[in-house]
Structure 1
Amino acid sequence: MDIRIEKTERAIRNAFLELRAAKPLEKITVKELCSLACINKSTFYSHYEDIYALSQMLESETITTVIKNISSQQESPFKDPDVFTRNLYMALVSNHSLINILFSGTEKSHLGDCLETELKRLIVEKYPQYETDPEKDIMLSFCIQGCFHAYLNNQKNDLGTLIHVSETIVRKLAPLYIEERREHE
């Protein structure tokens, strides 16, 4: 990639994150972003359709980073669900600043939904039989959304305690979805 394009892209992203940290997405204008990034509007529009497209791209990149952090640490969430839980928290913590900027205000619940969708997609890629198993689908939703909201609502508390309590809960739920269910055979 041309170094000028990289610099422009970096300036746009940095300006957007600075503005997004200070105000809701719907209050950010292309004009003020361009002023802060020291570019003109035509340059912005040559990179992005609008502010929402820029935000969506940054959100997607952040979610992809979180998912890669989790999936690189573990092959299957059902083998060690407590390890999966810890990896989920560590991925959220390692992207904490960016997550808090991009998914603040009305966008907070959007992150949980995106994480759930992407994690399930990744798991179904590895284990296609899970796609048609409503019990595994519900358990995944419960664990992913539960952990996400526990993280979201307890950021001021000790991270170690949050992880320990969540791992304990998930470990106690594990027999519900790890054991072979005889009544289905």
Structure 2
Amino acid sequence: MKNPKSKQAIIDTYIDMRKTTPIEKMTVVSLCKNANINKSTFYVYYQDIFDLCEQVEDIIVEKITKSIRHPELAIDHTDIFTEEVFKSYQEYNELIHTLFSGSRRSALPDKIHQSLTELFFSLRPEYQNNPEKHIMFSYMIYGSYYAYMENADYNSQYVISVISALTKI
């Protein structure tokens, strides 16, 4: 029988453990011990640690995607879109640095790209077959992510303005 509290305990414990433990060194046994649940409870929800990892990452990606209020503006108003993406990364900064660290670092931009591409082209189908728009969109997603991650010491508005200027060229 599924218990939402047990599932949340698994997720919360997983996130807490990821702060200090790489995904490759995490075990179902240690997670269950820390969450005070039986292994059988874990397997009601997840196949293994990597399935848990993927599902938790997908939850964060969905939250980031939903927090972008105007995805349809990505091509025509790169400054607005870039700012919304940045603000979303800032809102989930701690979880991003916890869950998408180590071997999982490249998973976030890949998942964000996939999620936002599907959303954008569903809202702007006229761009679906336009290679230039695909390239620009990919550049904005990957570029903004790595600019965010690599330039945390700079003012975010400054980084946003630089990216926006680059995409307007």
The offset of 1:78, in angstroms, is: 2.1
Q: Partner residue of 2:88?
A: 91
**Residue type of the alignment partner of 2:32:** C
In the alignment of these two chains, the number of paired residues is: 169
Counterparts of 1:168 and 1:47, CA distance in 2: 45
Q: Which runs of 5 or more structure 2 residues have no equivalent in the other structure?
A: none
**Residue type of the alignment partner of 1:114:** K
Map residues 22-61 of structure 1 onto 2, 5 A cutoff.
22-61=20-59
The offset of 1:22, in angstroms, is: 0.6
Counterparts of 1:140 and 1:20, CA distance in 2: 31
- The secondary structure found in structure 1 opposite 2:128 is helix
- Whether 2:142 is the aligned partner of 1:142: answer no
Counterparts of 2:11 and 2:152, CA distance in 1: 26
What percent of counterpart residues are identical? Answer: 34
Q: Partner residue of 1:133?
A: 130
Counterparts of 2:112 and 2:147, CA distance in 1: 14
Runs (4 or more) in structure 1 with deviation over 4 Å come to: none
- With structure 1 as the length reference, what TM-score do the two structures score? 0.85
1:83-126, Cα deviation, whole Å (9 max, x unpaired): 00100100111011111111101211111111111111111111
Query: Is the 2:64–2:88 contact (alpha carbons within 8 Å) kept by the matching residues of 1?
Result: yes
Counterparts of 2:72 and 2:158, CA distance in 1: 25
The offset of 1:74, in angstroms, is: 4.9
Counterparts of 2:56 and 2:79, CA distance in 1: 29
Counterparts of 2:71 and 2:55, CA distance in 1: 26
**Residue type of the alignment partner of 1:165:** V
Counterparts of 2:156 and 2:76, CA distance in 1: 23
Q: Partner residue of 1:67?
A: 65
**Residue type of the alignment partner of 2:28:** V
The offset of 1:169, in angstroms, is: 2.2
Q: Partner residue of 1:14?
A: 12
Q: Which runs of 5 or more structure 1 residues have no equivalent in the other structure?
A: 174-185
**Residue type of the alignment partner of 1:43:** T
Query: Is the 2:113–2:138 contact (alpha carbons within 8 Å) kept by the matching residues of 1?
Result: yes
**Residue type of the alignment partner of 2:77:** D
Counterparts of 1:47 and 1:135, CA distance in 2: 41
- The secondary structure found in structure 1 opposite 2:105 is helix
Counterparts of 1:107 and 1:155, CA distance in 2: 19
Q: Partner residue of 2:77?
A: 80
1:40-65, Cα deviation, whole Å (9 max, x unpaired): 10111111111111111110110011
**Residue type of the alignment partner of 2:41:** T
Q: Which residue of 163, 166, 169 corresponds with 1:169?
A: 166
**Residue type of the alignment partner of 1:155:** A
- With structure 2 as the length reference, what TM-score do the two structures score? 0.93
Instruction: Determine which structure has more spread, i.e. the larger CA radius of gyration.
Output: 1
